[in-house]
Amino acid sequence: MKKDTHPQWYPDAKVIFNGEVIMTVGATQPEIIVDIWSGVHPFFTGQQRLVDTEGQVDRFMRRLRRREEIASQSEKEEVEERSPLKLGIEAFSAGTRAEKALGEADLTTVGDVFELYQEGGDDALLALQGIGQTALIAVKRFLRAEGLIE
């Protein structure tokens, strides 16, 4: 066997807590300094004591706040992306004839059609060539379902 491969063994190594020797054990170091031991640990003593090394609680709270900020920001982005005003005119399900008529009038999004409806009401939409009562009903039904009109 090789010499000096094993560390030196101290059969009476001292375990020190707050400057006091609390026990002796066998170890590879002559003294072991500990911050917490079973005599003061809340689990063994039944006492509640906050052990906060280097602001772990503060770091956790910062991470938690940051996570909540990111979640609320992504939630806002989702709501903005789902805005019905950004949808195409296909969302109305008014038929190909009505979609073609709206496209020819340069109304490509729900927002464009909603703007025209706000300005002129039913008559503004019916004035478009190719938009009839059925298409108007489909448009109004969609706008009501999205909460844009009453």
Mean pLDDT (10-residue bins), the chain, 150 residues:
85 93 94 88 71 74 91 77 78 83 84 86 85 86 84
Query: Is residue 141 located within the same domain as residue 110?
Result: yes
Q: Quote the pLDDT of residue 43.
A: 75
Indicate if 62 and 96 belong to the same structural domain: no
Tell me, yes or no, whether 99 and 141 share the same domain: yes
pLDDT at 79: 65
Residue 3 lies in a domain: no
Structural domain containing residue 124: 84-145
* pTM attached to this predicted model: 0.45
Q: What pLDDT sits at residue 80?
A: 63
Distance of CA 132 to the CA centre of its chain: 45
pLDDT of residue 45: 77
Instruction: Note whether 69 and 105 are same-domain residues.
Output: no
Residue 59 counted as domain residue: yes
Does residue 137 sit in the same domain as residue 106?
A: yes
One-letter identity of residue 26: G
Number of domains in the chain: 3
Considering the domain boundaries, does residue 1 fall inside one?
no
Task: Give a yes or no: residue 4 inside a domain.
Answer: no
Contacts of 2 (CB under 8 A, 6+ apart): none
Q: Which residues contact 52 (CB under 8 A, 6 or more apart)?
A: none
Q: Are residues 77 and 125 in the same domain?
A: no
User: Both 101 and 134 in a single domain?
Assistant: yes
Q: Which residues, other chains included, contact 45 with Cβ-Cβ below 8 Å and sequence gap of 6+? A: 39
Can you give the pLDDT at residue 115? 87
Residue 88 and residue 77 in one domain: no
* pLDDT score at 72: 86
Say if 2 falls within a structural domain: no
